[in-house]
Amino acid sequence: MAVLWSNDPIMQGLADRLPPPPPSPQRDPYVYLMGAIVSQQLSTRVASVIYERFLNLFPDRYPAAQSVLDMPAETLRAAGLSGQKTAYLKNIAAFHLATPMDAAHLDALSDEEVIRHLTQIKGVGRWTVEMLLMFPMNRPDVFPIDDLGIRQSIITLYGLTETGKALKARLIEVAEHWRPHRTLACKYLWRARDGVK
């Protein structure tokens, strides 16, 4: 059923003009976090190449946690990973062994509980977990306020002129009108920014 944005004509205009974003395919949260770390601060093309090299280091292309921990850092570095990313991947693997992060465990937690749980891992920040919630987990009401694309889209479409803390307050105020569908609203904002017709 289509969402009606009766209290926000700007968002309703995007929904009328753009095709509805489809639900994201379910993915293993652990593997998703691995991919997110590999992709950080890289172009899509370069990230894809390095991630393929990383997966090819493992039987069946699955980076099982113990295998990641056992793999020499030099081997991971040779695949194109920085020393910092190598450490972060090993952090995720160690956390997964101690505290499983598969969907069965995470689905029982609220959005904020998932964020608090996974940001205990050094190298995994709030934005990364918000992307996990929005995409492979398909949580419906996530608002990644620190996403640059989302911020820029709201500033442009809603004509915001504030800066600093005042801007953050206005961004939250605008997004409040989208509850309980803030994830869908953000997907429309990304589509508008990327020029999807």
Contacts of 188 (CB under 8 A, 6+ apart): 11, 14, 15, 18, 21
For this structure, is 60 an active site residue? no
Q: Please give the backbone phi and psi of residue 172, each rounded to the nearest 5 degrees, phi first.
A: -65, -40
Sign of torsion over alpha carbons 133, 135, 138, 141: positive
Q: Which of 70, 107, 147, 194 is catalytic?
A: 147
- First vs last C-alpha separation in the chain: 21
Catalytic residue IDs: 147
